[in-house]
A = this chain, B = another copy of it.
């Protein structure tokens, strides 16, 4: 299949939802609204929303069904980037070649923009999807991004970054950071898309597991591309590039086998997984 054509058809849908739900810059407080839009437009690959839409299609629903969770996971991803870039965290001045939110809007507005983006994620999901399905997808999302998930992973990632070499994280500790900081949100993207698409509990669980596997593989691929970054929580210095490539490919193969039974309808989901793990930039 032609993944680029598939994406060219679906990406404008998510862009349109994000543009509609983000408050306009010409409404006050415009600094807050500008900061929220700065991190989302222009965006990155929109990988998480694409996975949500592909998961809905894999279970036989139109991509549109997944838009509330697709928008929610992209808003959460955006909030986490804004907070990770803060001076008290990774202290990054640039992201995707542009000044980070706190550089443009100041630290207080960056903290608050991240806070508002997290709230907006839940507002969109809970207002725009079927109430009972949205409550379950929202509960999964909230757990994935809290102390046991995304935020806990970031705490340990920061600690790994400041630990000296003699005290650096071991294999299990690094995998645990990948699972929480990266894979948990990717997992709820896929599972949430399937859930809003009408899948039952067993399929949702399979999709969640698929998402965890490709999430960890995606993070390993990211560390291979960016070997100088996040040394403390990267497998690359610990295992070497070749072993990391093998591990990512093994996780990808396991994940692909897990969704084999969904047939052709799941081909975009599988292609996205291959793209996420094998991309070169």
Contacts and interface: CB of A to CB of B under 8 A. Distances in A.
A112 B151 contact: yes
Contacts of A217: none
Contact of A147 (B108, B116, B135): B116
Interface in A82-130: 83, 86, 88-89, 106-109, 111-112, 114-116, 118-123, 126-127
30 contacts: A23-B148, A28-B156, A29-B147, A31-B155, A33-B147, A83-B112, A83-B115, A86-B111, A88-B106, A88-B111, A89-B108, A108-B158, A109-B155, A115-B115, A116-B146, A116-B152, A118-B118, A119-B142, A119-B143, A119-B145, A119-B146, A119-B151, A120-B142, A122-B122, A126-B135, A127-B142, A131-B131, A132-B132, A135-B138, A138-B138
Interface of A: 23, 28-29, 31-33, 36, 79, 83, 86, 88-89, 106-109, 111-112, 114-116, 118-123, 126-127, 131-132, 134-136, 138-139, 141-143, 145-148, 151-152, 154-156, 158-159
